[in-house]
C-alpha cells in the first residue's frame, strides 16, 4: 500500500469526525448520532456514497443549524472530506466508513431527516440492479431510517439511472415525486435552488462537456 495512503488511514484513525470499523463509536452510534456525536438535537442529513465529501461539506457550510454525515466505503475519500471540513472549521459534519448495504446497522429508525444521493455508480448491467442506490432494496432501508415525510434527493449524469429511479418510484406505493428535471441548470425557481447551489468537481466536468444533470426530489411516504 502506498505510503501516502497509509498516512491518511492513520489520520482517519485519530480523527474524531471519522467513524469507521475498529473505533468503539462504530458499534454504538446507531440511533444516537445527534446526542453522542454532534451533541445537539439538530436534524440529521446523510449523503450516501459521498466520495470525497464535497457535497456533504458544502451542505454543512450552507446549513449550520443542521448535522451532516457523509457515508462511503473508501477511507482515502473520507480523509479528503474530513480534511476539507477541518480547514473550514465545520463542527456540524462527520463521516462514516461503511457500505451502503449496512445502513440499518449504523442508524436507528426515523433517525434521519434527509438523504442525498449524488452521482452514484449507475450500475448499468442488469445483474447489478439490486446494487443501484435507488433500487427497492435501498429504498426500503431509507424508509426505515427516515423520519415521516423526510426528503430524498438524487443528482445524476446518467439518463438510464434517472429513468430507472422514476419508474421505481412510480411503482412504489406511497412514494411521491415533488420535483424532477432532466436538465437541472436550465431550470429557474425556488424548487431547484438547493440542488443548484453545490457543484462537485465531477459534476463540473460533465457540465463542461454538455452532459445535462438530472435531479429528482422525492418522499417515500
CATH of segment(s) 3-219: 3.40.50.150
Q: CA nearest 54: which of 155, 124, 148?
A: 155
Residue labelled with grid coordinates 445537539:
40
pTM (2 d.p.): 0.95
Question: Could you tell me the three cell numbers for 151?
Answer: 426528503
Indicate if 191 belongs to the active site.
no
Each of the 221 residues of the chain gets a pLDDT tens digit; together they read: 677 888 888 888 899 999 999 999 999 999 999 999 999 999 999 999 999 999 999 999 999 999 999 999 999 999 999 999 999 999 999 999 999 999 999 999 999 999 999 999 999 998 999 999 999 999 999 999 999 999 999 999 999 999 999 999 999 999 999 999 999 999 999 999 999 999 988 899 999 999 999 999 999 98
Question: Could you tell me the three cell numbers for 118?
Answer: 449524488
Which listed residue (11, 72, 121, 144) is catalytic? 121
Q: Is 115:59 a contact under the CB 8 Å cutoff? A: no
Q: Helix H segments across the chain?
A: 3-14, 24-28, 54-62, 75-87, 103-106, 136-145, 159-170, 190-196, 201-208
List the domain boundaries for the chain.
3-219
Q: CA nearest 155: which of 110, 122, 113?
A: 122
Amino acid at each position: 500500500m502506498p505510503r501516502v495512503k497509509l498516512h491518511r488511514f492513520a489520520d482517519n484513525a485519530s480523527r474524531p469526525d471519522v467513524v469507521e470499523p475498529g473505533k468503539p463509536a462504530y458499534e454504538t452510534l446507531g440511533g444516537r448520532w445527534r446526542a453522542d456525536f454532534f451533541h445537539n438535537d439538530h436534524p440529521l442529513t446523510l449523503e450516501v456514497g459521498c466520495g470525497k465529501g464535497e457535497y456533504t461539506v458544502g451542505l454543512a457550510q450552507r446549513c449550520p443549524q443542521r448535522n451532516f454525515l457523509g457515508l462511503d466505503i473508501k477511507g482515502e475519500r473520507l480523509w479528503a472530506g474530513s480534511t476539507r471540513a477541518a480547514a473550514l472549521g465545520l463542527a456540524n459534519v462527520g463521516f462514516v466508513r461503511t457500505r451502503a448495504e449496512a445502513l440499518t446497522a449504523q442508524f436507528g429508525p426515523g433517525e434521519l431527516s434527509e438523504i442525498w444521493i449524488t452521482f452514484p455508480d449507475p450500475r448499468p448491467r442488469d445483474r447489478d440492479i439490486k446494487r443501484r442506490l435507488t433500487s427497492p432494496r435501498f429504498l426500503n432501508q431509507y424508509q426505515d431510517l427516515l423520519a415521516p415525510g423526510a426528503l430524498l434527493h438524487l443528482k445524476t449524469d446518467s439518463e438510464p439511472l434517472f429513468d430507472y429511479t422514476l419508474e421505481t418510484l412510480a411503482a412504489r406505493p406511497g412514494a411521491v415525486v415533488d420535483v424532477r428535471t432532466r436538465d437541472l441548470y436550465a431550470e429557474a425557481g425556488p424548487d431547484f435552488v438547493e440542488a443548484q447551489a453545490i457543484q462537485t468537481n465531477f459534476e463540473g466536468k460533465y457540465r463542461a462537456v454538455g452532459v445535462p444533470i438530472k435531479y429528482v426530489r422525492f418522499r417515500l411516504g
